[in-house]
Amino acid sequence: MTTPPRTLTIAGSDSGGGAGIQADLRTFFACGVHGMTAITAVTVQNSLGVSGFHTIPPEVVAAQIEVVATDIGVQAAKTGMLATAEIITAVAGACDRVGIGRSGVTPFVVDPVSASMHGDPLLSDQALDALRTELFPRASLVTPNLDEVRLLTGIEVRSQAQQRDAAKALAEYGPQWVLVKGGHLWDDPECLDLLYDGSEFTEFVGPRLEAKHTHGSGDTLASTVTSGLAKGLDMVSAVRAAKAFIQRSVQDAYPLGAGVGPVSPRWRLPDADTFLL
């Protein structure tokens, strides 16, 4: 067998299996890459929300990154929940040492997970500042939703014009590309995701789906982009493929527990429901 491209997710574990490390790994598998992990936190959560979490020591997070990168190799990496400023600093240092990010050759997607699905902050002001100053300058791409845009820039996006303003503001922190996702711009029927390289915008438009079950959608989108970059796609092509992938995954989302269910990439595995029958 030929070894597939290898991807690394640096993120928290979701005990309910809907988002975080679990969403990243199932997306990587569905996209045909080998997924590896550096776990930053263990969350206590289910379909109703997060009731607690325990962080992993920063030096252990860094060691996870270095041990897989130096042995197995990483063709692209992404982040998710990073929990604390200390972990963010440790991640930045480890990525520099193994060549992940703009200082190396390995594409680095930073999903700045800093707000809950209800828009509540998940990071302290110190951690938000560490994201801006330590990870964004190293990022090939950052992928905030509109609640995260508000926390990171202070811009309350209510229109596509403000999406452009937000992309420009985020680009000032140094990432190579910015993707401002428009899923939370509820009055916009186009559901615009806006990609910006510091000089030009590329628009990705899709239908706004009436969907209750969207847990893990941001993780899944970022993981799909990461998979595309690992396979050698350019950024525009990787984001275009991810937009189509997440749209279908939202359409195939399923209920789980008493709250919000996860988006699902099971459509990529057509025999999944009948394989063992």
Domains of the chain by residue range: 6-266
Higher per-residue confidence, 160 vs 225: 225
Least confident of 66-75, 86-95, 120-129, 176-185: 120-129
pLDDT in tens, 200-218: 999 999 888 888 899 999 9
pLDDT in tens, 124-157: 999 999 999 999 999 999 999 999 999 999 999 9
Cβ contacts of 51 within 8 Å, gap of 6 or more? 44, 45
Residue 95 has a pLDDT of 98
Query: CA 118 to CA 181: how far, in whole Å?
Result: 16
Instruction: Categorize the per-residue pLDDT at 120 as very low, low, confident or very high, splitting at 50, 70 and 90.
Output: low
Q: Is 73 exposed, middle or buried (0-12, 13-18, 19+ CB in 10 A)?
A: middle
What's the average model confidence in pLDDT over 217-227? 97
* Helix 217-230 vs helix 20-30: crossing angle, to nearest 10: 40
118 pLDDT exceeds 80? no
* 3-state SS string for the chain: CCCCCEEEEEEEECCCCCCHHHHHHHHHHHCCCEEEEEEEEEEEEECCEEEEEEECCHHHHHHHHHHHHHHCCCCEEEECCCCCHHHHHHHHHHHHHHCECCCCCECEEECCCCECCCCCECCCHHHHHHHHHHHHHHCCEECCCHHHHHHHHCCCCCCHHHHHHHHHHHHCCCCCEEEECCCCCCCCCCCCEEEECCCCEEEECCCCCCCCCCECHHHHHHHHHHHHHHCCCCHHHHHHHHHHHHHHHHHCCCCCCCCCCECCCHHHCCCCCCCCC
pLDDT in tens, 96-111: 999 999 878 999 999 9
Residue 186 has a pLDDT of 73
Share of the chain above pLDDT 90, in %: 83
Cβ atoms 143, 179 nearer than 8 A: yes
Cβ contacts of 232 within 8 Å, gap of 6 or more? none
Q: Is 259 exposed, middle or buried (0-12, 13-18, 19+ CB in 10 A)?
A: middle
Task: Provide the pairing of β-strand 201-204 with 193-196.
Answer: antiparallel
Cβ atoms 115, 46 nearer than 8 A: no
CATH placement of domain 6-266? 3.40.1190.20
Residue 190 has a pLDDT of 83
Higher per-residue confidence, 119 vs 90: 90
Residue whose entry in the numeric block shows the structure tokens 């791409």? 141
Q: Can you give the pTM of this predicted structure?
A: 0.96
